Amino acid sequence: MIGNFVTQHEPEIIASFQRLLAIESVKSHPVPGGPFGAGPAQALSYVLQLAESRHLSTKNINGYAGHVEYGTGDQYIAVLAHLDVVPAGEGWTYPPFGGVIEQGRIYGRGAIDDKGPAMSVLWALFAMQEAGIVPKRKIRLIFGLDEESDWQCLDHYFRYEPKPIGGFAPDAQFPLIYAEKGMATLRIEVPAEAESLAAQVQMFSGGTRFNIVPEVARATVDCHSETAARELVVKFRKAAKDLQVSLHSEVRGCYVDLTVEGRAAHASRPEAGINAIVQLAQVLGTATVSNCSMWRSIGSWDCFGRTLGIDHDDGETGPLTMNVGTGELRDGTYRFHLNIRYPANQTVDELLKTMTNYLPDRWRIALVEHMDPLRIDPNAVVVHTLMDVYKQFFQEDIPPLTTGGVTYARAIPNAVAFGARFPGKPSLAHRADEYWEIDDFLRSIEIYAEAMTRLANAL
């Protein structure tokens, strides 16, 4: 029944996915009706209008978030997806907001995180409506616009709307995520040194968001003379070769410009990327430059916090991971933001205490944002119900998973992350040439229709 609907409407479904991908819904300065900028507001408007065209009830909560509703009753289950995306970044083969289809894949920022899954659950609801499937509980699709930043969207939404009795977020992978690590973003500030004899780092910048492994970092070093600059650039190039760092360097008079190219990845899996900030620090730390000891320290940081003494693995949610997401030199101070995903049996206070003891006294550390770990009982009804749906479609019995990711499942009671990435498929969120295979996208509509129906009857 649902499969026939998907086949019948396939061109329209894919076209709507492409139109949503074409909206550059990166958070920016507020506009009237759009507290997170014009792009996110446009994305929400498009989704709600699409639902209204099929005579479903919708609501826009002051431009912060919105919902599409199906069914009747006071209590409801929620499916929470986000329409905002991280900046496109560099290194794309395809236009990041083009929705290009090639070799069975649809490319674009947000294809799998999280615009594609948002369209999957929306079309699943359309299919249920057309098939006349009316479960016991009301179903509400909630679309947030600030998931990649501060979650102000849902904070605002639930000041005006009641919370559901349960639900899921299609923002991770199958089969199901029942536990998520805690997340802490820390800011480290270090005074810039002004050493008269050493070459001076005049400019430093890297990264765009805390939750993305930075793919580019840049620095400009004042060597005080062109001769010294030419000597130093030779040392930098040799160091980069020895360290296997992708470095572009250029001499401009007495200045040396350095650019390191890494590889972007989601901050929950920093080991999948190459951190350009850390690599540039490694190169700078090989020469006599200002803040040399700082560069050597940062250059020693790994993805698991070993050199900061915070490495830990609880055996369930996995090892602590750390991403140096952004760095800059501004107003005589270096500022670095670390995004840390820590195991469920660790606390943020323990992290801060340990790191404070490891870092030099003149380095200042502050907690910028924090989310506690999430853990749902693996025997809960929501877990059993959705795992049964997974088994029905994938014909395999595997245990639910844990993740270092942070999903909207944390925002409501009795919720987990369910899909949308299929087993064995690569994690492409926050990376260049993000895509979703069209066959998986279309199949997920059937999966989510069944999941929403069963969950709305079970809770």
Residues recognised as catalytic: 84, 147
The closest of 343, 206, 337, 347 to 277, measured between CA atoms, is: 206
Cα 234 from chain centre? 38
Asked if residue 180 lies in contact with residue 374, where contact means CB atoms within 8 angstroms, the answer is yes
Element (H, E) at 184: strand 182-191
SS (H, E, C) 58-120: EEEECCCEEEEEECCCCCEEEEEEECCECCCCCCCCCCCCCCCEECCEEECCCCCCCHHHHHH
Classify 439 as helix, strand or coil.
helix
Which residues, including other chains, have CB under 8 Å from residue 412's CB and lie 6 or more apart? 78, 80, 163, 164, 166, 167
Classify 448 as helix, strand or coil.
helix
Residue 50, φ and ψ in degrees, nearest 5: -65, -40
Tokens (6 digits) for 102:
């090639």
DSSP assignment of 256-317: EEEEEE-B--BTTSGGGSB-HHHHHHHHHTTS-BTTHHHHHHHHT--TT-GGGT---B-SSS
β-pair type (401-403, 172-173):
unpaired
In whole angstroms, how far apart are CA 17 and each of 88, 124, 125, 284, 451? 17, 13, 15, 44, 21
The burial of 66, by beta-carbon neighbours within 10 Å (0-12 exposed, 13-18 middle, 19 or more buried), is given as: buried
DSSP assignment of 195-229: -SSSBEEEEEEE-S-TTB--SEEEEEEE-SSHHHH
Classify 31 as helix, strand or coil.
strand
Q: Count CB-CB contacts under 10 A for residue 227.
A: 10
Q: Is 154 left (phi over 0), alpha (psi -120 to 50) or beta?
A: alpha
Element (H, E) at 390: helix 381-394
Cα 444 from chain centre? 21
Q: Which amino acid is at 394?
A: F
Report the alpha-carbon distance of residue 26 to residue 21 in Å, rounded: 11
